[in-house]
Amino acid sequence: MAQENKNDNPDRPTPTTRPVGGTEYGWCKAVPGGTGSTVLSLLLSKPPQIPHLQNALHKLQISHPILRSKIHLDTTTNTFHFVTPPTPRVQIEPFDLQSTSQILNSQTNGHDLTDLDPFHALLEHEMNRDTWRDNQSRDADVMYASTYAISDKRFALFLRLHTSACDRAAAVALLKELLRLVAAGGDGGDVEADKVNLAIEDLIPEGKMNKPFWARGLDVLGYSLNAFRFSNLSFVNADSPRSSRMVRLQLSADETKNLLDGCKSRGIKLCTALAAAGMIAAWKSKRLSDYESEKYAVVTLIDCRPLLDPVLSSSHCGFYHSAILNTHDVCGETLWELAKRSYTSFENAVNNNKHFTDMSDLNFLMCKAIDNPGMTPSSSLRTALVSVFDDLVIDDSNEMHEELGLVDYLGCASAHGVGPSLAIFDAIRNGKLDCACIYPSPLHSREQIQGLVDHMKRILVDGCNRGKQ
């Protein structure tokens, strides 16, 4: 439980602290290397009202205290702690037209970004800001905010959060709450102060995480040995310093409806169709014969809030996802054949509680890969071909968006440290599938990933069209 720090001044409110849990520790290790900077990005047609926005962010920090925390590394014990002050602290960093232009010019200089929309380029810039790289010398806030003036009629707002304090489900809820507060002029009424909750490991129902010692050892060994058999997307440049880049996969309303109907009729989830399209596109990019198979790994992230004791609401900030790692042999299957097989493997793993029993195993292996990149092919730190999310995000709040001048928005996280070759952050917005696909560059090139994502789109659309015939 959180406990108070000692303070020599009795009149001065003291921060509370709690040590991070096992999963949170993994993110504290991963984020400085480039994986786990969560970014919420909003493109606006109206200049943001900074005082209203500042007030809205402070209210978020009051109702979600982990968002006003700092991450402290105790170098003597090599342990991390959340240190949470009693009052909100985030300050918006504004960039005017000239500053924004300089950032965009520096982004395109020497990189394959010349054809990018400025909002897209700024999103990549925010993902790659090294906020948490130097944790050993100072405590770092878990949330930062920036605004950019792109032109006289285009403005951008970015929230950058440490993933240990804000997973995908929390980010979705946070965005909705922020929009509601901003629509109210930064005054959403009084907010109830909450407390930093326990780590996910402390909330797993009794008995769900149990695994015999010998079984845990065998599973860790099995995961390690299987990793050497995984096929990867071809590496373009495995030696140069890396950053996270984004390619977008979007479907029309009709294409999205056909895809969702195809999943529903087969009793599977959208995430397995996306993963199957990624595996097929990767397999075909190798130009193999119909008899040559490759083994690909897929990581599926599950929001465990409804499964915990006590149950947490979807708006509860923190990291409460768990991962399931499945492998699949791919050799010329159709979209629906592979998607069905993927879903069956995933469902079996969930029914066997592997999202709980294997949690510490996968966290251990992730930390080992971070400390020993050479354990992965070409020191690439690639742990899977693709990662997807089990839960489906649906947003139809178009009326509020128009009121706020919200033109576009995306939520994603960096992935150029340890992680997959393609991390897919999907959402259904006003009936249309919109995916931010994050990849490590220059390990993979933009041309390579754009071609892969375009191929995935064709596989999804053609698979749905054939399914209707």
Mark which of 183, 214, 229 sits at the end of a domain.
183
The continuous run of DSSP H or E covering 366 comes out as helix 359-371
Average pLDDT of 59-87? 92
Q: What is the pLDDT of residue 237?
A: 96
Please give the C-alpha separations between residue 97 and each of 19, 155, 156, 326, 373, in angstroms, as whole numbers.
Answer: 42, 10, 11, 47, 40
Higher pLDDT, 15 or 110: 15
Residue 398: count other Cβ atoms within 10 Å of its Cβ.
12
**Residue 93 scores a pLDDT above 90:** yes
Give mean pLDDT, residues 127-137. 76
Is 191 among the domain residues?
Answer: no
pLDDT band at 136 (very low <50, low <70, confident <90, very high): low
Please identify, among 129, 158, 183, the residue that sits at the C-terminal boundary of a domain: 183
Confidence of residue 4 (pLDDT cuts 50, 70, 90): very low
Give yes or no: residues 34 and 110 share one domain.
Answer: yes
Residue 266: CATH number of its domain: 3.30.559.30
221 inside domain = yes
Whether the predicted pLDDT of 440 surpasses 50: yes
Share the mean pLDDT of the chain: 88
Please indicate, yes or no, if residue 195 is contained in any of the structural domains: no
Neighbours of 424 (CB within 10 A): 22
User: Do residues 237 and 384 both lie within one domain?
Assistant: yes
Same domain (yes/no): 257, 309? yes
* Greater model confidence, 440 or 466: 440
Within-domain flag for 323: yes
Q: Answer yes or no: is 194 within a domain.
A: no
pLDDT at 49 over 70: yes
**Quick one: 206 and 291 in the same domain?**
yes
Whether residue 39 contacts residue 379, with contact meaning beta carbons closer than 8 Å, is answered with no
User: Which is higher by pLDDT, 7 or 163?
Assistant: 163
pLDDT-based confidence at 9, cuts 50/70/90?
low
pLDDT tier for residue 78 given thresholds of 50, 70 and 90: confident
pLDDT exceeds 80 at position 229: no
**Regarding predicted confidence, which is higher, 361 or 215?**
361
Residues 273 and 134 reside in one and the same domain: no
Residue 189 resides in a domain = no
Residues 218, 279, single domain; the answer is yes
- pLDDT for 2 equals 43
In terms of domains, do 165 and 254 share one?
no
Q: What is the pLDDT of residue 224?
A: 59
Looking at residue 183, what is its pLDDT?
81
User: What's the average model confidence in pLDDT over 94-118?
Assistant: 80
Given this model, what pLDDT does residue 332 score? 86
Asked if the structure places residue 13 within a domain, the reply is yes
- pLDDT band, very low/low/confident/very high, at 1 (cuts 50, 70, 90): very low
Question: For residues 420 and 326, what is the distance between their CA atoms, to the nearest angstrom?
Answer: 13
Q: Which uninterrupted H or E stretch holds 159?
A: strand 155-162
As a whole number of angstroms, the distance between CA 39 and CA 132 comes to 14
Residue tagged 């995430």 (tokens): 271
Does one domain contain both 302 and 418? yes
DSSP string, 185-243: TT-------------GGGTSPTTTT---HHHHHHHHHHHHHHHTT---PPPS-SSS--E
Is the residue at 396 inside a domain?
yes
pLDDT-based confidence at residue 116 (cuts at 50, 70, 90): confident
pTM over 0.85: yes
Domain containing residue 101: CATH number: 3.30.559.10
* Higher pLDDT pick, 447 / 211: 447
Backbone angles phi, psi at 268, to 5 degrees: -125, 175
> How many domains does one find in the chain?
2
Is residue 125 located within the same domain as residue 207? Answer: no
- Cα dihedral 223, 226, 231, 234, rounded to 10, equals 60
Range of the domain at 288: 200-468
Kind plus residue range of the DSSP H or E element containing 281 = helix 270-285
pLDDT at 137: 55
pLDDT score of 189: 56
Please report which confidence band the pLDDT of residue 353 belongs to, taking 50, 70 and 90 as the band edges.
Answer: very high
Q: Let me know whether 207 and 246 are in one domain.
A: yes
Question: CA separation (Å) from 89 to 39, 49, 84?
Answer: 19, 18, 10
**pLDDT band per the 50, 70, 90 thresholds, residue 6:** very low
Is 214 in the same domain as 175? Answer: no
- Res. 261 pLDDT band, cuts 50 70 90: very high
The pLDDT of residue 230? 85
With beta carbons less than 8 A apart as the criterion, state whether 283 and 277 touch. no
Q: Which of 183, 208, 223 is the last residue of a domain?
A: 183
Residue 278 and residue 354 in one domain: yes
Of the listed ranges 135-149, 233-247, 348-362, the least confidently predicted one is 135-149
